[in-house]
Structure 1
Amino acid sequence: MNPLYIQIKKRITESLVGGLWHPGHSIPSEIELAQSYNVSQGTVRKAIDELAAEKILIRRQGKGTFVASHNEEHNQLRFLRLTSSLGDKEKLDNKLITFEKEKASNGLAKILGINNASTVVSIKRVLTFNEKPLILDLIKVPAASFRGLTPEKVIEKKGSMYRMYETDFGIQMLHAKEKIRAVTASAEAAELLGVSLDSPILSVERTSFTYDNKAIEWRLGLCLTENHHYATELE
């Protein structure tokens, strides 16, 4: 049997999955949760410590504990790790290239845990930093999880898809797995990013997950790195 604090962590996570507490909102105090779960405050604190370390919850001194949100200024680009090598603050925007619905391939269906016959929304866009093309993004999400997703919504969010997932569909992306490799620009990538054919670019393939560790988005980003680098932190 799992330690008691792990069981409480699971119960808190289940409440988040069920929508009891929403992104950006506070959760009950440790004392209130301890009473609700009939455990010690220390057990609740240890469970919350782990969820805070995983950036699912955020502690704010003197204010309480809040559900992490992609709406917060410091968290909007949580998964976008391409950074100016000069340290410049850049304006992010996006240009939508295509927005289509299609049947999931066998490989994609396996990644997203959906039926082979399921429909996915396929989005192709160019992310611009200070109005210069920097990333060619190919995004695929299950249509059933994003009913009402339109090209207009993609354009409206100015590049922040995770913010849109959260605010418009109640889906909070929590963590991601990535595969990074160097590739050369195809004819399409070269044209959309404004570089020569076969120029070196960075390929970032990402699968993003929500609270219950459910894969909900597959994405391939083709990135220019002449004046940018991919920044990450290892713990």
Structure 2
Amino acid sequence: MATSPHSQADPAVAEPAAGATPAFSPLYQQIKELILQSLQSGEWKPGEAIPSEMDLAARFRVSQGTVRKAIDELAADNLVIRRQGKGTFVATHAEQHVRYRFLKLMPDSGDRDSEGPAQRAVLDCKRVRASAEVARALALRTGDPVIQVRRVLSFGGVPTILEDLWLPGNAFKGLTAEQAAGYQGPTYAMFELEFGVRMVRAEEKIRAVLPDPQQAAALKVSQQMPLLSVERIAYTYNDVPMELRRGLYRTDTHHYRNDLN
């Protein structure tokens, strides 16, 4: 990273290694990375306030405007939330307005609140060895331990989503079917609270498929009903993959909606 332009070197910015070509970046980007490091290390937990812009400016020996610009980008990335008159807080999936950030399936009525929260039925939760495909998605080695969860999400008593999840075994050690089914809030909020893992972004691939007999039975549909297959890899800070999720969505009363900005 480049050094601070102040007369006294910024202690938070590392000097490049001897012989290395320095990778220059704007100072606010360097401060953003330092704040990200604190988020990743758990210095500030989801839902907690981070220090004020003035305190962070003093900590990193930069201007308050530089800190503000760094926080602007973190807020745009949904990593922190500004609250007028209260400060800036680490974003959390427990927040009401973001709890459906990663669930794009909407009822055709358009009113998600009218159908209430999803009812979760965990069909299986076990510790297994990662296949080559799962290991590749989660940046693990083939044979590394992973937690595999299969569950059905129902809305209004109608089974609507069949999901398979794979999670790194070390990060989610001890996860049980009772824990996965019993938590009343969003699953990602439970991951934050119980395992200290915050999902900050995800990539999805979508295609139309027909269910096999087992999948059709779980969703109570015929094998001729087209389903939406959604494969997601969710990442925590610094683009570390922490979940592979494959879901089959019924779309007879729901649709997939994504807002593009």
Deviates more, 1:76-85 or 1:201-210: 76-85
- What is aligned with 1:57? 80
- What is aligned with 1:19? 42
Alignment pair present for 1:133 and 2:159 = yes
Question: Tell me, what secondary structure is at the counterpart of 1:116?
Answer: coil
Alignment pair present for 1:213 and 2:239 = yes
Question: Tell me, what secondary structure is at the counterpart of 2:238?
Answer: coil
Say which of 204, 208, 219 aligns to 1:193.
219
- What is aligned with 2:69? 46
**Aligned 8 A contact 2:31 2:60 in 1:** yes
**Aligned 8 A contact 2:94 2:185 in 1:** no
TM-score by length of 1: 0.97
**Aligned 8 A contact 1:21 1:67 in 2:** yes
Q: Deviations over 1:162-219 (max 9, x none)?
A: 1110110111110000001111111111101111013101000000000121000000
- What is aligned with 1:66? 89
Question: Tell me, what secondary structure is at the counterpart of 2:101?
Answer: coil
Alignment pair present for 1:79 and 2:105 = no
Return 5+ residue gaps in structure 2 as ranges: 1-23
Alignment pair present for 1:97 and 2:123 = yes
- The CA distance in 2 between the partners of 1:12 and 1:93, in whole Å, is 37
**Aligned 8 A contact 1:93 1:159 in 2:** no
Aligned residues: 235
Relative distance call for 1:222 and 1:159 in structure 2 (3 A) is farther
User: Quick one: higher RCO (CA 8 Å, sep 6+), 1 or 2?
Assistant: 1
Query: Quick one: which amino acid aligns to residue 60 of structure 2?
Result: Y
Question: Tell me, what secondary structure is at the counterpart of 2:154?
Answer: strand
- Radius of gyration: which is bigger? 2
Q: Deviations over 1:131-175 (max 9, x none)?
A: 210000000001111112111101112472211101101111100
- What is aligned with 1:10? 33
**Aligned 8 A contact 1:186 1:198 in 2:** no
- What is aligned with 2:145? 119
- What is aligned with 2:188? 162
- 1:234 positional shift: 1.2
- Identity rate, percent: 46
- The CA distance in 2 between the partners of 1:28 and 1:10, in whole Å, is 15
- 1:84 positional shift: 0.7
- What is aligned with 1:37? 60
- What is aligned with 2:12? none
**Aligned 8 A contact 1:94 1:159 in 2:** no
Q: Over aligned residues, Cα RMSD in angstroms?
A: 1.1
- 1:117 positional shift: 2.2
- The CA distance in 1 between the partners of 2:221 and 2:211, in whole Å, is 8
- What is aligned with 1:153? 179
**Aligned 8 A contact 1:207 1:216 in 2:** yes
Query: Quick one: which amino acid aligns to residue 30 of structure 1?
Result: E
TM-score by length of 2: 0.88
